[in-house]
Chains A and B, each alone.
Chain A
């Protein structure tokens, strides 16, 4: 390993031009492997990127799409204005970031804990059953989830007010008018839907860990807790870092279905449920303004880029191998 690494650094040193062809000649098979993916990425992602200019134009139709882009007049940053010139600019940005932070942290800790626990269960068959069952919520669309949520929170007929609180002698709560409960409710549903899914990834990673590590640790008298602390978690770390970094890049993008359908678009709850995606949706619905839509997307992407570059930079500083790129 050491040798290879050393060899690697010496190769990087020479001028990049020679390096590339040298690499191409040496590792042509690896390059061939990349080809299908590269082609798809170019077609599906890189070619459409030139459309970003639409965000800076006032799009008007002139015969064909390409023609329209060329002939539409420049609009500067005016398309971005609807985003900032609103009394809610701070509120929606804050909500988006805070919820995403909560999702990132909880979406890391809980699935890892679940995966470790599931892995420790003696009876593998029951472990499998738990795993399958916890995966189920992932299949439900947010619209369906919103119906379910309503069956719990409905003020008059909801399960909570009608059955639970009534039997405890507590006054009914107007759930859809009281913002203070909703951060918890939204976080709960997000975790409910995705924990099973994420657990599977970590479980697969744990099962990839060589059993010899544990056997050796056991001979040394390590406790179960120590084994988890010093073997499992360190070996999961690179996966944890990758998944977190990926999520960080999307910190400005919120799960529309969760924030729009589950609170039933109740205006009273906007202070805690309104996020960038729902705001943009409401603002641009019924307008067919592709310039403003492109502006919103660009804004989210630029901020996402900045955050992920920063995060990646920090990770690189600490451990070069674990960085995203």
Chain B
């Protein structure tokens, strides 16, 4: 025992000594040695007056940009060369673009780099990747209001409403992409079957209204499963709860501005009714018995063995899905378009607090909103190498399957309305988008950001409870009454009441201050 103690104390001394060595090594601000080092500097976002203009004799500033995507496209260096040539005269910066895979990969890379204070200049963030709210609240992002006031172009393009929607307590930490700003929900129905049975889809304005169609399919098409459900891609979405936090965190408002009371939407009467309907449909054979373990709705839709799928819609969604699944679809809009936090924080660019050149980074981001050439260069690659122009605004990709640069970045940054259109797209696409944006109902909660800090424990517990139950309920795979009872009990134990109360408190406070 004595020996162990001695070993321990020796270890302790060693560790302490090493800690001191490390602290000594890293506390003075290191000047960019090697790649991606040197975190010592405190980058306070000061809006310096003189650095706005570019002087050609100054050495070019390097901007590092992390973006989410499928992969780093092989021809990225070629495209960056073009970009840098162009940027040299405009801003005197060079760009370093890194694309990392969806999900864990991107989160891991960005979150670690942010926590370690690596001097990144621009990162992509959203409510689903490198979590915008959390990272902004943790102080990882530079506040941009000063820049926005100084360089007002972005504000003009995005509009006050939308920009405010992504602000946290009145402060903007990131800039949203200018794209569709509203969403609605509905069905995609398999076109050949709709035509075969001469279905009338004009009257489908509720979830239940589709049942007769499902019935026809069930009775006449033994090979086809009427309804396609996988994980969160379920008809439950058609209830369109205005969620306060993540998808799997209880707490939402009705999507029609009827009141200001936050409820646990998983156990709201409407939701329970919906679960029962799904149970009924499951028993009638409208839903696949495996549905609760299915993982990929689009892949299921590709198989051609499903008739209807719930989807988030926008103009031309049916064409888009027809192109990507190889099966023809008809779009049936069910819910009314609304503008919610889902869109305002769906795709943003932020400038990390550790960036050494926040102002240059901001000016570069501004160019993504104003400079059509730059936006399309990053989006589609180099003209006549990666794409051909058919007319002024319409292009065609050269050999899309084997293209060295086809990243699909359009919606991730800047002004999407400046993007060229593909030859197979509706030439009116952007006009329709703009009209669609105007149609949307602006929800009361737009711009409210829930701060989890005080209830982090409850949030994580509730998340786990929801994860344990939602798939069975959304697909009607289990008896509803006892499951809901058990679900409610566990949510209560997980502290859902405190969570909702905290949401309500913050929401009321936010409304007062508005």
A and B touch in the complex (CB under 8 A): yes
Interface residues of A (CB under 8 A from B): 16, 42, 46-47, 49-50, 58-68, 81-82, 85-88, 150, 154-157, 174, 176-177, 264-268, 270, 274, 279, 282-284, 286-290, 292, 309, 325
Q: How far is the CA of A58 from the CA of B139 in the complex (A)?
A: 12
Q: In the complex the two chains form, is A47's CB within 8 Å of B117's CB? A: no
Q: Is B288 positioned at the interface, with any CB of A under 8 Å from its CB?
A: yes
Give the shortest distance, in Å, between B405 (CB) and chain A (any CB). 28
Q: How far is the CA of A82 from the CA of B43 in the complex (A)?
A: 33
Q: In the complex the two chains form, is B115's CB within 8 Å of A61's CB? A: yes
Q: In the complex the two chains form, is A286's CB within 8 Å of B295's CB? A: no
Q: In the complex the two chains form, is A65's CB within 8 Å of B131's CB? A: no
Q: How far is the CA of A279 from the CA of B457 in the complex (A)?
A: 13
Of B48-56, B392-400, B411-419, B470-478, the stretch lying at the interface with chain A is B470-478
Q: In the complex the two chains form, is B43's CB within 8 Å of A63's CB? A: yes
Of B265-273, B368-376, B435-443, B489-497, the stretch lying at the interface with chain A is B489-497
Give the shortest distance, in Å, between A6 (CB) and chain B (any CB). 19
In the complex where A156-B290, A264-B293 touch, is A64 in contact with B117 (Cβ < 8 A)? yes
Minimum CB distance partner of B461 in chain A: A86
Q: In the complex the two chains form, is A283's CB within 8 Å of B472's CB? A: no
Minimum CB distance partner of A270 in chain B: B468
Q: In the assembled complex, which residues on chain A have CB atoms less than 8 Å from the CB atom of B471?
A: 266-268
Give the shortest distance, in Å, between A320 (CB) and chain B (any CB). 12
Q: In the complex the two chains form, is B42's CB within 8 Å of A267's CB? A: no
Q: In the assembled complex, which residues on chain B have CB atoms less than 8 Å from the CB atom of A266?
A: 292-293, 471
Q: Which 6 A-B pairs have the closest CB atoms?
A: A63-B42, A283-B460, A61-B139, A267-B468, A87-B493, A50-B19
Q: In the complex the two chains form, is A283's CB within 8 Å of B464's CB? A: yes
Q: In the assembled complex, which residues on chain A have CB atoms less than 8 Å from the CB atom of B22?
A: 47, 50
Q: In the assembled complex, which residues on chain A have CB atoms less than 8 Å from the CB atom of B232?
A: none
Q: Is B423 positioned at the interface, with any CB of A under 8 Å from its CB?
A: no
Q: Is B307 positioned at the interface, with any CB of A under 8 Å from its CB?
A: no
Minimum CB distance partner of A292 in chain B: B456
Q: In the assembled complex, which residues on chain A have CB atoms less than 8 Å from the CB atom of B457?
A: 81-82, 85-86
Q: How far is the CA of A86 from the CA of B470 in the complex (A)?
A: 18
Q: In the assembled complex, which residues on chain A have CB atoms less than 8 Å from the CB atom of B465?
A: 87
Contact partner of B40 (CB less than 8 A), chosen from A61, A64, A85, is A64
Interface residues of B (CB under 8 A from A): 4, 6-7, 14-15, 18-19, 21-23, 26-27, 29, 39-44, 107, 111, 114-117, 128, 130-131, 134-135, 138-140, 246, 288-290, 292-293, 295, 353-354, 452-453, 456-458, 460-461, 463-465, 467-472, 477-478, 490, 493-495
Contact partner of A288 (CB less than 8 A), chosen from B130, B354, B468, B469, is B130
Minimum CB distance partner of A61 in chain B: B139
Give the shortest distance, in Å, between B156 (CB) and chain A (any CB). 31
Give the shortest distance, in Å, between A189 (CB) and chain B (any CB). 16
Q: In the assembled complex, which residues on chain B have CB atoms less than 8 Å from the CB atom of A59?
A: 115, 138
Q: In the assembled complex, which residues on chain B have CB atoms less than 8 Å from the CB atom of A65?
A: 26, 39, 115-117
Q: How far is the CA of A157 from the CA of B305 in the complex (A)?
A: 13
Q: In the complex the two chains form, is A288's CB within 8 Å of B460's CB? A: no
Minimum CB distance partner of A157 in chain B: B290
Give the shortest distance, in Å, between A173 (CB) and chain B (any CB). 11
Task: Tell which of A49, A62, A177, A286 has the most Cβ of chain B within 10 Å.
Answer: A286
Q: In the complex the two chains form, is A289's CB within 8 Å of B464's CB? A: no
Q: How far is the CA of A49 from the CA of B39 in the complex (A)?
A: 20
In the complex where A88-B464, A267-B470 touch, is A286 in contact with B40 (Cβ < 8 A)? no
Q: In the assembled complex, which residues on chain B have CB atoms less than 8 Å from the CB atom of A62?
A: 42, 139
Q: In the complex the two chains form, is B467's CB within 8 Å of A46's CB? A: no
Contact partner of A63 (CB less than 8 A), chosen from B107, B353, B472, is B353
Q: In the complex the two chains form, is B138's CB within 8 Å of A60's CB? A: yes
Give the shortest distance, in Å, between B46 (CB) and chain A (any CB). 13
In the complex where A47-B22, A85-B495, A288-B107 touch, is A61 in contact with B138 (Cβ < 8 A)? yes
In the complex where A50-B22, A155-B289, A270-B468 touch, is A64 in contact with B354 (Cβ < 8 A)? yes
Q: In the assembled complex, which residues on chain A have CB atoms less than 8 Å from the CB atom of B41?
A: 63-64
| Majority secondary structure, B binding face | helix
Contact partner of A82 (CB less than 8 A), chosen from B21, B456, B472, is B456
Q: In the assembled complex, which residues on chain A have CB atoms less than 8 Å from the CB atom of B138?
A: 59-61, 288
Q: In the complex the two chains form, is B18's CB within 8 Å of A47's CB? A: yes
Q: In the assembled complex, which residues on chain B have CB atoms less than 8 Å from the CB atom of A309?
A: 4
Q: In the complex the two chains form, is B15's CB within 8 Å of A286's CB? A: no
Q: In the assembled complex, which residues on chain B have CB atoms less than 8 Å from the CB atom of A265?
A: 467
Q: In the complex the two chains form, is B464's CB within 8 Å of A279's CB? A: yes
Task: Tell which of A60, A177, A267 has the most Cβ of chain B within 10 Å.
Answer: A267
Q: In the complex the two chains form, is A60's CB within 8 Å of B139's CB? A: yes
Q: In the assembled complex, which residues on chain B have CB atoms less than 8 Å from the CB atom of A64?
A: 26, 29, 39-42, 117, 354
Task: Tell which of B246, B295, B461 has the most Cβ of chain A within 10 Å.
Answer: B461
Q: In the complex the two chains form, is A66's CB within 8 Å of B464's CB? A: no
Residue pairs across A and B with Cβ atoms less than 8 A apart, 25 shown, are A42-B14, A46-B14, A46-B15, A58-B453, A62-B139, A63-B43, A64-B42, A64-B117, A65-B117, A66-B23, A67-B42, A82-B456, A86-B461, A177-B478, A264-B293, A265-B467, A266-B293, A267-B467, A267-B469, A267-B472, A283-B463, A286-B107, A286-B128, A287-B131, A289-B134
Give the shortest distance, in Å, between B502 (CB) and chain A (any CB). 15
Give the shortest distance, in Å, between B296 (CB) and chain A (any CB). 11
Minimum CB distance partner of A69 in chain B: B23
Q: How far is the CA of A65 from the CA of B7 in the complex (A)?
A: 30
Q: How far is the CA of A46 from the CA of B20 in the complex (A)?
A: 12
Q: In the assembled complex, which residues on chain A have CB atoms less than 8 Å from the CB atom of B469?
A: 267
Q: In the complex the two chains form, is B19's CB within 8 Å of A47's CB? A: yes
Q: In the assembled complex, which residues on chain A have CB atoms less than 8 Å from the CB atom of B494?
A: 86-87
Minimum CB distance partner of B470 in chain A: A267
Task: Tell which of B27, B44, B464 has the most Cβ of chain A within 10 Å.
Answer: B464
Q: In the assembled complex, which residues on chain B have CB atoms less than 8 Å from the CB atom of A290?
A: 111, 115
Q: How far is the CA of A292 from the CA of B478 in the complex (A)?
A: 34
Q: In the assembled complex, which residues on chain A have CB atoms less than 8 Å from the CB atom of B14?
A: 42, 46
In the complex where A42-B18, A47-B19, A264-B295 touch, is A154 in contact with B290 (Cβ < 8 A)? yes
Give the shortest distance, in Å, between A285 (CB) and chain B (any CB). 8
Q: How far is the CA of A274 from the CA of B490 in the complex (A)?
A: 15
Contact partner of B467 (CB less than 8 A), chosen from A81, A155, A282, is A282
Minimum CB distance partner of B43 in chain A: A63
Give the shortest distance, in Å, between A155 (CB) and chain B (any CB). 4
Contact partner of A282 (CB less than 8 A), chosen from B27, B134, B464, B495, is B464
Q: In the complex the two chains form, is B131's CB within 8 Å of A288's CB? A: yes
Q: How far is the CA of A174 from the CA of B475 in the complex (A)?
A: 14
Give the shortest distance, in Å, between B480 (CB) and chain A (any CB). 14
Give the shortest distance, in Å, between B31 (CB) and chain A (any CB). 14
In the complex where A264-B293, A268-B292, A288-B111 touch, is A63 in contact with B468 (Cβ < 8 A)? no
